[in-house]
């Protein structure tokens, strides 16, 4: 994509804050690679197999990798830009929660990478917990339901919800309505990406925002497309014309 939207920094004077992608049914974890063989000590290598001539193998098909990454376009936020902003958020959150031992709660899966980096950037004692949501279509339209609840009690705790993206606000509003009745001491949220102009509900406890972003689809830094490209260290634009149909994407909730 030749066009690169300009970053809109959050803070005073920025657009009003909001929520992220709608909670969709989550996918099973991708299978891990098989465990590699243990390394052979240097002194034993000569005795294992005699050297022999091997015929050249088939040429590496570089084009296949290019096709696999076709929907992923140019970088919107580099890993360095993200790291600097996450460090700043750590300072802001530490100042707000000093002496309270807050609990950081993240919905799986897209928020996991942001949560891990934010936790390392937070110089105060804190705890982590996770929950998992799925979309549910009923008589009143599509909403969310809890697939996996928190392991720990949040009664009397200062809870900070950690989101990857907030736009319509529906997911964050659901999380707020789910956790508030549990007698929390306080409830707020932090998001890496915000699209306040897409807000459908205003009742969201969003307090900290990393970046206000354009209405584009992204991949990388935890955001996936059919469970692919989550591990990319940078945040990339996605080229809509290259997307297979149908495709489940993180990014609108």
Question: Annotated active-site positions, please?
Answer: 167
Chain-centroid distance, C-alpha 6? 21
- Token readout for 146 is 């809890």
Query: Please, which residues have CB within 8 angstroms of residue 1's CB and are 6 or more apart in sequence?
Result: 73, 74, 237, 239
Helix (H, G, I), strand (E, B) or coil at 202: coil
- Token readout for 251 is 């990014």
What distance in Å separates the CA atoms of residue 153 and residue 5, rounded to the nearest whole number?
Answer: 42
Helix (H, G, I), strand (E, B) or coil at 245: coil
Residue matched to tokens 């949040």: 154
What distance in Å separates the CA atoms of residue 242 and residue 239, rounded to the nearest whole number?
Answer: 6
CB-CB contact of 238 with 1 (8 Å): no
CB-CB contact of 253 with 168 (8 Å): yes
Residue 237, sorted as left (phi over 0), alpha (psi -120 to 50) or beta, turns out to be beta
CB-CB contact of 203 with 176 (8 Å): yes
């Amino acid at each position: 994509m030749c066009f690169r939207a300009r970053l809109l920094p959050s803070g005073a004077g920025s657009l009003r804050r909001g929520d992220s992608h709608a909670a969709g049914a989550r996918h099973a974890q991708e299978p891990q690679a098989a465990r590699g063989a243990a390394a052979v000590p240097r002194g034993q290598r000569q005795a294992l197999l005699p050297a022999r001539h091997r015929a050249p193998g088939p040429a590496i098909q570089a084009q296949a990798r290019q096709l696999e990454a076709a929907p992923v376009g140019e970088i919107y936020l580099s890993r360095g830009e993200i790291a600097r902003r996450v460090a700043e958020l750590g300072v802001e959150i530490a100042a707000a929660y000093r002496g309270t031992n807050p609990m950081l709660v993240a919905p799986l899966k897209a928020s996991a990478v942001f949560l891990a980096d934010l936790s390392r950037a937070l110089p105060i004692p804190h705890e982590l917990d996770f929950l998992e949501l799925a979309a549910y279509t009923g008589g009143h339209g599509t909403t969310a339901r809890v697939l996996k609840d928190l392991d720990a009690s949040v009664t009397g705790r200062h809870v900070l919800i950690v989101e990857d993206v907030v736009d319509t606000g529906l997911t964050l509003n659901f999380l707020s309505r789910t956790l508030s009745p549990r007698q929390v001491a306080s409830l707020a949220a932090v998001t890496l990406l915000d699209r306040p102009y897409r807000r459908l509900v205003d009742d969201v406890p969003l307090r900290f925002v990393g970046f206000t972003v354009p209405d584009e689809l992204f991949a990388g830094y935890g955001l996936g497309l059919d469970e692919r490209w989550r591990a990319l260290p940078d945040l990339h634009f996605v080229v809509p014309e290259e997307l297979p149909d149908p495709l489940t994407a993180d990014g609108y909730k």
